[in-house]
Structure 1
């Protein structure tokens, strides 16, 4: 299918002007935990390449996570390239949002293009550990959710024993979390060799003492919950600190824990392990070199028969109600000084010229 041509009408100009005001406000009113002058604004291209689509006319669903919009990150907008009909759906437990493309295998094969989404995002350096007061008091239901053990995040047995022996005698939750964080940074190695790493298995990390970011933060989350500290998993993409454009090779994740005094506080134990001199910078603080997409584990996609996803960052595809695994994701970014409205207007001009 050919991309739809779009034209600027007076109504569209008026709408874009209104958006411009909103964008200006977003730039001027930074999140309360963001550090002054810390914004990193970029266009992030998310591409889903789906192969092996059968020559049939079966229903097909394509799920792509939507970048988050919160105190550490502003999502100014996004654009789905091409002629795809899509809707935005939210899953109930964590309120993660997904672009859902409902199509058919015949239509996908005829389109003969990958699915591409462009996100326009500003990411900030954040330091909630230095902010005053809790931003979002936890409800009882949410507190229970972020304290409950799961298959990959057990809160009993060896996990509970280690957490108690390491930090159980500390006075405040903030102190307990810092001691757990230090212990994990000191005793777990960032190592992606062998088998078992990368699934976010807290017991694997506890026993083997190595893994990637999912393993580091699963161990932290499980042990924090074992001590009665609500904790959760954040999945996203890393941004190279020394480049303003390029390819992003894979995902990155981190964790957050909750205290009544400070609200949600981030930790990035795997980055601290790789960069010992930045240990303090990754506890209760985060740099702007990342884009957050989803919260939580065991995510149930809306309008899908899929089993819960261990975590969500890559595209998920169903054909005739069954998972289609022949899917590749690619990510590229480019920093920009343009506003979202300027980018949209330039896109309209390019479409008009085409």
Structure 2
């Protein structure tokens, strides 16, 4: 019996026979829910993340972000390995999954896991209803992205637009028009804030990478009380290959909450790179990605000593409570299984 998987709400998955899939897709589209395309529009990959801390110097810990099954991706069994200490697997309070190893360097930890990621199609109509939550973890500003300076600007930009979806669409276009992509190392430019989602740096330079673009959009949304969250993980090239391919720089995208329509995804990076996808990328996501973590200012488990982690998109290491991630040798690679 053939089956397909369809998202009906975060954390809730409905299994349906392929014969009923199109009916269910139509129903979700009609009620304004971002939905999954049929199972053919998915990508099945194996991830391999490795990290090693070779230098001796006392007890250290390495943490690796691990994907989780959520409404738009499914995982197979995790296959972790470590050298120098026992493997510890934990989930933080918002659902981020991680494994770690603690011991005297040299330390090494790695895992392999299979992931099936689904294409998400924008809702064809809006059936927004109800009101925004009065309290939400995802309405709280990140340390580097205070929302108060943006509140008046966001109000003026959205004007008399009455809906959350409409406000978010205006802010989406504003960020795309306001920012340009940049790489670190520009001539004569201070790049200390590049790629960190630092609003002061982003607004001053009007540029940045995918994290910076989405940090600004999220801050605009949160300034109006709209919950929004940063998501991070590797983006996969559209050409599929069964050979192992290295990921040199993890990607970022985000989601925002609409009453009555649940979470709506956004990929400003892809929209900026491919103008023809600007409409699709508001509410839609390609299947060429894997989510490793969600959120900012994260507290890992076991607890790190250097304060909350701005983003968790790659291995992180500490020794004696100090960040020594710069000493890590790490690698993230993938291969297609279909």
Q: Is the 8 A contact 1:235 1:251 kept in 2?
A: yes
Aligned runs of 1:280-319 on 2, under 5 Å? 280-304=279-303, 305-319=305-319
Cα distance in 2, alignment partners of residues 120 and 185 from structure 1:
33
Please give the TM-score of this superposition, normalised by the length of structure 2. Answer: 0.81
Q: Which residue of 2 aligns with 1:115?
A: 109
Does the residue aligned with 1:235 lie in a helix, a strand or coil?
strand
Cα distance in 2, alignment partners of residues 254 and 95 from structure 1:
17
Q: Which residue of 2 aligns with 1:90?
A: 91
Aligned length: 298
Displacement, 1:166? 1.3
Q: Which residue of 2 aligns with 1:267?
A: 266
The structure in which a higher percent of residues are helix is 1
Match of 2:228 among 209, 216, 231: 231
When Rg is computed on C-alpha atoms for both structures, the one with the higher figure is: 1
Please give the TM-score of this superposition, normalised by the length of structure 1. Answer: 0.77
Displacement, 1:103? 2.7
Cα distance in 1, alignment partners of residues 132 and 47 from structure 2:
32
Q: Is the 8 A contact 1:267 1:286 kept in 2?
A: yes
Q: Which residue of 1 aligns with 2:196?
A: 199
Displacement, 1:320? 3.7
Q: Is the 8 A contact 1:217 1:254 kept in 2?
A: yes
Q: Which residue of 2 aligns with 1:178?
A: 169
List runs of 5+ in structure 2 lacking aligned partners: 9-34
Match of 1:47 among 47, 50, 56: 50
Displacement, 1:204? 2.4
Aligned runs of 1:12-23 on 2, under 5 Å? none
Does the residue aligned with 1:29 lie in a helix, a strand or coil?
strand
* CA deviation string 1:19-77 (max 9, x = no partner): xxxxx99x6434342210212101111111323233xxx43322111112101110112
Cα distance in 1, alignment partners of residues 141 and 220 from structure 2:
10
List runs of 5+ in structure 1 lacking aligned partners: 1-23, 338-354
Cα distance in 1, alignment partners of residues 116 and 125 from structure 2:
20
Between 194-203 and 37-46, report the one with greater CA deviation: 194-203
Match of 1:151 among 143, 155, 160: 143
Cα distance in 2, alignment partners of residues 132 and 151 from structure 1:
33
Change (3 A) 1:133 1:120: farther
Cα distance in 1, alignment partners of residues 268 and 168 from structure 2:
11
Q: Which residue of 2 aligns with 1:80?
A: 80
Cα distance in 2, alignment partners of residues 77 and 87 from structure 1:
16
Does the residue aligned with 2:194 lie in a helix, a strand or coil?
coil
Cα distance in 2, alignment partners of residues 139 and 53 from structure 1:
49
Q: Is the 8 A contact 1:129 1:262 kept in 2?
A: no
Q: Is the 8 A contact 2:179 2:207 kept in 1?
A: yes
Q: Is the 8 A contact 1:267 1:282 kept in 2?
A: yes
Displacement, 1:155? 1.2
Does the residue aligned with 1:146 lie in a helix, a strand or coil?
helix
Cα distance in 1, alignment partners of residues 295 and 286 from structure 2:
21
Q: Which residue of 1 aligns with 2:213?
A: 216
